[in-house]
A and B are shown apart, each in its own frame.
Chain A
Amino acid sequence: NAGVTQTPKFQVLKTGQSMTLQCAQDMNHNSMYWYRQDPGMGLRLIYYSASEGTTDKGEVPNGYNVSRLNKREFSLRLESAAPSQTSVYFCASSEAGTVDTQYFGPGTRLTVL
């Protein structure tokens, strides 16, 4: 039981490049989330998916797109990376859509030059 896995762990991009962050969970959770964490700021929700086939914007969705491929997988895509997207990205999943049932992946450290 791996919990929540994310790939890659680290990535360096140049401005304008695109990439997809992958996330998978093996806990049969319905809800999945993408957060970003920046110094001096709390985790901020980018997008979430309450169930397979649905996605909704969070607090900071601009510059990102998501795909809920199936119940296990939720990917985050940066179409044209900007330096402001340099951050640590965490994927999470939740059994009941509540904070106390939320489990986080190990994170992806992204640097955009």
Chain B
Amino acid sequence: RKEVEQDPGPFNVPEGATVAFNCTYSNSASQSFFWYRQDCRKEPKLLMSVYSSGNEDGRFTAQLNRASQYISLLIRDSKLSDSATYLCVVESWGGYQKVTFGIGTKLQVIP
């Protein structure tokens, strides 16, 4: 089983729609969680951190479910500019830092 699993998509959604992605992780000792955004042929950029209490940044909401070992990203009122690949990142510390990236979920927002 992969340490971090994501549905690669693509998710094709119309403008204005709400879309949600999940990411599951296998290491129950994982401590920090993040969503990165990567545009086509560009570098990844931090979108948001995921806190135990959940967090919201404008149209984006991230949540963590430790019991089921998954994190989620919800995008409301999708814009064309949201089209990108969203990477799930899990950080764990067990004597040393380990950072694991998911393969990403591709989102295409359609006019």
Residues of A within 8 A of B (CB): 40-45, 90, 97-100, 102, 104-107
Contact = CB atoms under 8 A, between A and B. Distances in A.
Nearest to B44: A104
Contacts, number: 40
Main secondary structure of the interface of A (DSSP, over half): loop
Interface in B21-68: 32, 34, 41-46, 49
A100 B99 contact: no
A99 B91 contact: yes
Interface in B4-32: 4, 8, 32
Given A43-B44, A90-B43, A106-B43, A98 B103 contact: no
Given A99-B34, A100-B46, A104-B45, 6 more contacts: A41-B103, A99-B46, A102-B46, A104-B44, A105-B43, A107-B41
A42 B43 contact: no
B89 interface: yes
Interface of B: 4, 8, 32, 34, 41-46, 49, 87, 89, 91, 97, 99-104
Nearest to B87: A42
Nearest to A106: B43
Contacts of B104: 42
Nearest to A39: B103
12 contacts: A40-B8, A42-B4, A42-B104, A43-B101, A44-B101, A97-B97, A98-B91, A99-B91, A99-B99, A100-B34, A107-B41, A107-B42
Nearest to B43: A104
A98 B90 CA distance: 11
B34 A45 contact: no
Nearest to B3: A42
B92 to A, nearest CB: 11
Given A42-B102, A45-B99, A100 B49 contact: yes
A97 B91 CA distance: 11
